[in-house]
Structure 1
Amino acid sequence: MKLLRAEFRNFRLLRDLELTFSTDPAKNLTVIRAANETGKTTILHALQWALYGDAALPGKGDDFRLHPIDWDASDGKRVPISATVEFEVTTVRRSAGGMREMKRRYRIVRSATEEIDGNKWRRSPAMVKLFALNDSGADPIDAPEALINEELPPELRDVFFTDGDRTLSFIEADVALATKRERVQRAIRALLGLGVIEDAIKHVRKAAADVNKRAKESGVSGELDTIASRLEAIEEDLIKHEEELEDARTQFANFDEKVADIDHKIDAALEKGDKEKLKRDIETARKTIKKLDDQLAVANKEHSALFRSQSIATDLLSPVLAKAFEKLEALHDQGKIPSTTIPVLEMRLGMDSCICGESLEESDVDGAHRRRHIEKLIDDSRKSDELQEIVTDLFYGAKSLAPGDGKAWLNAYAKVVESRDGLQDLRDQAGQEMRALELQLDALPDTDIQGLRDTRRQYQNQRDRFLSKRSEIETRLSGLRRDREELSAEQHRLLREQKKGALILAELEVTQDVTRVLQGAYERITREELAKVSALMNEIFLEMIGADPEQGAIIKRAEISQDFDIIVYGPSDRTLNPDRDLNGASRRALTLSFILALTKVSEVEAPNVIDTPLGMTSGYVKRSILRTAIRESAQLVLFLTPDEIAGTEEIIDEAGGVVLTLTNPAHYPKMLVNDPGVAERKVLRCECDHRSVCQLCERRMDAAVQLAMVS
């Protein structure tokens, strides 16, 4: 199958867009050059919607708007939406002259209507029509889904239509190991056509059930009737439990993906900021500011008190005080201050003994004489005591005013000012941080992270519930199969003993033999084809990343294990986690090599439509990925940004059968040089290739690198 043409009407940004695809085997590459926000992913969704319906849309189409977001209600409240895809199917048929190749062309049209009511909308069930194209026109075909499902099985939608990030789903670490294995296993088995064998096994089991029913109705013996009834019940239980198991596996994978999706949303929101954490940070900032304001108030009071302090007076009067203290010190050195004469003399009189040791007693004539002399000295001293007391008090009381170096106040001032200014700087910084937090909070999208976490918990509980259910069903199935084997063996023994049971026994043995052959073929094809896919994937992967195991490369090889795990080996066969130990370019190369190998081994000729496959790559790896993808694809359609194209121009020159450019007029004037003159948000197409620009698509960075201008 090859894509020929696609046309979209009112599908989100694609109001009126037509695309053509290269079908030239020699130039099988189609490049759609488009910057970010220019409809690349939208086209990928639109192509899948045209072929597979709502099931191919994100969330299976639930709450996924299709009409343009800026649709003007004056143009009508009912928005007609359509996606048309023309494709070619090649079949090989045996004829008298040998194998003959036949090409048939088809057009599939899927349409729906969305009715807008304010901010709400409602979508009508989509209608799909399929036409066979021929020289005389287009003939309608019934059951279009059957043809699409045969040529492009829905299970392989993610293989043929994918984006650079989606390809990583085969190795991403965010989902359970069982989910990754299921994805790889489902892709391999679907592309290898193992569904045909699965249907055949089911058909043989049904035939065996019919034979068993006849054994029950034959009336050969009561014991055989009982065994046949039990086998019939077991077969019914097996069918029921196998359906339940498949449902449990599907539900587990769905909820596992939902958990991973919620994790991505939480991570994306947290990259921009955690709203709850920001609120806590703002509250902490407010408390810090309050504390700093209180400390600033204290510092301002200390600053004010400096101008009422003794130190400012001391430093200002230092020259005068120095002279006064000089004189006081001289009086002190002379013993004139402090005045201690009168207290000492009075004390000696009380003791009746002079300081020289002579008696001062009244009863002694000499003592009385000396006593009178001392009393006279005391009286004489009291006359000058008041002045002496003042000078003494001044000497001792003025000690605190003793002049220093005249810098005490300045030092205290500097200390207070430094402390206050430091606090003010901290206060200003805290205020700026709080304003920044408030702006960050205002700029956050209205994402309820706690709500997302609650939803994640619910999804995880659901996922774990289906995991437990799956284990229970697998245990029941194991028991039922064991019981079936035992009962079948007993049934065969009894039938051999009965003449009437020979035919029934032969039929049962035939069904069992056919079942064993089919199951053996199923396992053999899976095992052998898995080995082929694994080997080719390794070859393509090593070529893409330029790794030579013989030259000491870190990555030695990659393989798909029998358990359907994609494994990468490093030195000494040490395993590397593909999602954690490989860089972004190697991870993309690994998953793209898996898809290309799968397509190649299956010999299915189908398009590989990939959005931004060269993201996170550069240099050799980028060019190698592109060259290898072109070589291994029957038809390769790539949506590339200008950055992805840079460095690969020569490869596109060689292999590009169709190269076109898409532009979003909403990018004017910030990103586009010229005004496209379109008010609507819609994707516009021009015929510029990867080396040229025109008035419509010229971007500011194009002007900087001087790409060729198309007139």
Structure 2
Amino acid sequence: MRFTISSITLTNYRQFQGTQTLNFSFNKKKNVAVILGKNGAGKSNILNALTWCFYGIEVHKDPKAQESGGMPIINVTELAALKPNQSTYAEVLVNIETDIGPWTIKRYIEGGKTAFGKMYLDPPKLTVIHPVGGQDKIVEGDETQKLINNLLPEALRNFFFIDGEQLREFFKFSSPQEVAEAIDNVSQLDLIMKATDNLLKYEKQLRKSVKSTTPQLEAVQRQIETLQRKIEDENASLRDLHEEIEKDSRELAQVEDYLRQHNDASVAALQRERDSLKTDVQTLKTHLQDEETNRNGYLVDITPFILLKDEIRTTYQLIQYKVDKGELPPKIKETFVRELIERGRCICGNELIGNAKSELEAYSKKLVLSELSEVSISGKTTIEDIFSDIENFPNRIDKFNEKIDLFKDQFDRKMLRLEHISEEIKGHNIDEIRRYEERQNQLTSIINRNKQQQLMRKAGIGTLNSTLEEKMEQEKIELSKDKKNAHLRIKLQLVQDARTTLANTEYVVKAKIRNQVEKSTKENFLTLIRKKTAFTDVLIDEEFNVKIIHSHGYNAINDLSAGEYMILGLSFMSALMTISGFHAPVIIDTPLGKIDDEHR
């Protein structure tokens, strides 16, 4: 459903004392409203008011801080003026226009002072007025939030109600996993995941209703249940590791940004050099591994020939001797001699008499051996090629080793330089830099360790899944032994096939959406960016790493200006909104952030 906001009325909400209304005009050609205001005037709280009214959540507020004595939602001046046993309220009322008529959404909270003068706040109440069958219907209670989620799901609110500062920092500090999660949320792939979970629960229920007619069936079902529990536990641990890695990666990005942007020019230069060296080291490590693999593969191929060099040479000399004597290849084919014997006549036409036939028999046997030896003639060329490879072995292995030594030398020199840079940065008489440097090393170590655990758990889950598939095949065999379970067996198979189909669907849909988001982000970014020739491409790879390709081919994702980060974030969010399927207004607090002198 398409909707626009026509007005918002604030009553005693935060710094808005009394009742104040903002009306928004709607024009298809100029569909943008700009609110100007100095710092502290309440611009951010307009965004907070909208998200609080819709979802009971304020974008810029920490719920925990509020619970532990933070500023209340009701205007503090109004609360302070209350006497014991008096109350007041805060209210946000939003009028919206939809395809089917006007809606009104209102969230209300009452608070006051007890007889002893203690402040209290009641739980907020939500009311929705919307058209049904040509009449307005008033809805309160649990159903109201469902109505709003039909307009715009809470999971998508961050793509329509946007904090400009977070928009600027999204690609500066976000990890590939957060990019993937953003795409998952907006594409509503969680529906597929929920369906998969429900199918798994139903599969377990079906398995419980199966009559264990044989000890083997009962045993294999217990094994399946155990394996499924283990897989669930491992996946839960894997999710925890994901969260830890994401949290530490965000902090690491902030630490590295601090070191890069610090006002000490020499430290900033060292940090930039280290960033470049890290990329070089990773590239050299890949080249080194590839070259060692190529060399080892070559050694595996050539070693048998080197070890059998003398035997191969003897074979070659024997073949050459036969060739020189004229024994190879044979001048007469054995089949020709065999025809003469069978006809009983010589090539001249005379009959074979006396010992002629037996002599031809003996000669035929000799020719059979000669024709077998003829195979050696074709092998003679192959042996010559082998000798050529053996002769070239020293040169080829030297070239492999030279390249490997070169990569190792470059790798060692760059690693040594990295160590020197770390020591040099630590050596500066700046406690804050040293603390950040130490924290960077700690985070890098923690992230690497967690990534190793992540790989191990993924491998373990893969093994468990393989074992589970084997046990399910055994279960099918056992179920087929009893006709009583035939119907349940068909149901189980259907559920398992459905889960497989959903998994394949999720993979295909995610790939298509990623490509679509990549295309839209690129178009938006290259259109909005001021330096039209500076960048040539925007890529989102299969691991959801975002790359901004500079005109000279470099990936500039870590070297954008504040404005460029803002435009990239806006381009990405716009691409996500396009594929979401929801048509709602987009509200951005300070969209230009630090790149605009006037806040709006």
Give the TM-score band, short-chain normalised.
0.5 to 0.7
Distance 2:114 2:242 in 1: 38
* Structure 1 residues 562 and 568: alpha-carbon distance in aligned structure 2, compared to 1, 3 A threshold: same
Pairs within 5 Å for 1:551-562:
553-562=533-542
Pairs within 5 Å for 1:194-209:
194-209=189-204
One-letter code of the match for 1:129? T
Counterpart for residue 52 of structure 1: 55
Distance 2:51 2:136 in 1: 25
Distance apart, 1:150 and its partner CA: 3.3
Counterpart for residue 42 of structure 1: 45
SS in 1 for 2:491: helix
Task: State the identity %.
Answer: 21
One-letter code of the match for 2:103? R
Counterpart for residue 187 of structure 2: 192
Counterpart for residue 154 of structure 1: 154
Counterpart for residue 528 of structure 2: 544
Distance 2:526 2:109 in 1: 44
Counterpart for residue 84 of structure 1: 93
Distance 2:538 2:256 in 1: 28
Q: Could you give the per-residue CA deviations for residues 176-204 of structure 1, whole angstroms, max 9, x where no partner exists?
A: xxxx3233222222222222222222222
Distance 1:249 1:497 in 2: 44
Distance 1:103 1:261 in 2: 47
SS in 1 for 2:180: helix
Task: Say whether 1:32 aligns with 2:35.
Answer: yes
Q: CA contact under 8 A between 1:4 and 1:21: conserved in structure 2?
A: yes
Is there any run of 5+ residues in structure 2 with no aligned partner, and where?
265-431
TM-score (norm 2): 0.59
Pairs within 5 Å for 1:502-651:
502-548=486-532, 553-577=533-557, 580-617=558-595, 643=598
Q: Could you give the per-residue CA deviations for residues 640-689 of structure 1, whole angstroms, max 9, x where no partner exists?
A: x7x368xxxxxxxxxxxxxxxxxxxxxxxxxxxxxxxxxxxxxxxxxxxx
Distance apart, 1:594 and its partner CA: 0.6
Distance apart, 1:565 and its partner CA: 2.2
SS in 1 for 2:172: coil
Q: CA contact under 8 A between 2:213 and 2:482: conserved in structure 1?
A: yes
C-alpha RMSD over aligned residues:
4.2
Distance 1:82 1:256 in 2: 40
1:224 to 213, 217, 222: 217
Distance 1:129 1:149 in 2: 14
Distance 1:258 1:130 in 2: 41
Distance 2:252 2:110 in 1: 31
Distance apart, 1:46 and its partner CA: 1.8
Distance apart, 1:3 and its partner CA: 2.2
One-letter code of the match for 1:562? E
Distance apart, 1:235 and its partner CA: 2.9
One-letter code of the match for 1:591? G
SS in 2 for 1:33: coil
Q: CA contact under 8 A between 2:89 and 2:110: conserved in structure 1?
A: yes
Distance apart, 1:503 and its partner CA: 3.4
Distance apart, 1:214 and its partner CA: 2.9
* Structure 1 residues 506 and 74: alpha-carbon distance in aligned structure 2, compared to 1, 3 A threshold: closer
Q: CA contact under 8 A between 1:129 and 1:141: conserved in structure 2?
A: yes
Distance 1:193 1:572 in 2: 37
Distance 1:503 1:138 in 2: 47
* Structure 1 residues 532 and 264: alpha-carbon distance in aligned structure 2, compared to 1, 3 A threshold: closer
Distance 1:38 1:510 in 2: 60
SS in 2 for 1:22: coil
* Structure 1 residues 169 and 89: alpha-carbon distance in aligned structure 2, compared to 1, 3 A threshold: farther
Which has the larger share of helix? 2
* Structure 1 residues 473 and 547: alpha-carbon distance in aligned structure 2, compared to 1, 3 A threshold: same
Distance apart, 1:121 and its partner CA: 6.9
Distance 2:507 2:125 in 1: 40
Distance apart, 1:130 and its partner CA: 2.6
Distance apart, 1:542 and its partner CA: 0.2
One-letter code of the match for 1:543? T
Q: Could you give the per-residue CA deviations for residues 398-440 of structure 1, whole angstroms, max 9, x where no partner exists?
A: xxxxxxxxxxxxxxxxxxxxxxxxxxxxxxxxxxxxxxxxxxx
Counterpart for residue 369 of structure 2: none
* Structure 1 residues 235 and 57: alpha-carbon distance in aligned structure 2, compared to 1, 3 A threshold: farther
Is there any run of 5+ residues in structure 1 with no aligned partner, and where?
91-101, 272-448, 619-640, 646-711
* Structure 1 residues 527 and 264: alpha-carbon distance in aligned structure 2, compared to 1, 3 A threshold: closer
Counterpart for residue 8 of structure 1: 10
Counterpart for residue 130 of structure 2: 132
Pairs within 5 Å for 1:242-261:
242-243=235-236, 245-246=238-239, 249-250=242-243, 253=246
Distance apart, 1:139 and its partner CA: 1.3
Distance 1:500 1:471 in 2: 43
* Structure 1 residues 185 and 601: alpha-carbon distance in aligned structure 2, compared to 1, 3 A threshold: same
Counterpart for residue 364 of structure 1: none
Count of residues paired in the alignment: 416
Distance apart, 1:532 and its partner CA: 0.8
* Structure 1 residues 541 and 62: alpha-carbon distance in aligned structure 2, compared to 1, 3 A threshold: same
Distance 1:129 1:540 in 2: 38
Q: CA contact under 8 A between 2:549 and 2:555: conserved in structure 1?
A: yes
* Structure 1 residues 54 and 264: alpha-carbon distance in aligned structure 2, compared to 1, 3 A threshold: farther
> Larger radius of gyration, structure 1 or 2?
1
Distance 1:19 1:570 in 2: 43
Distance 2:256 2:16 in 1: 30
Distance apart, 1:127 and its partner CA: 2.8
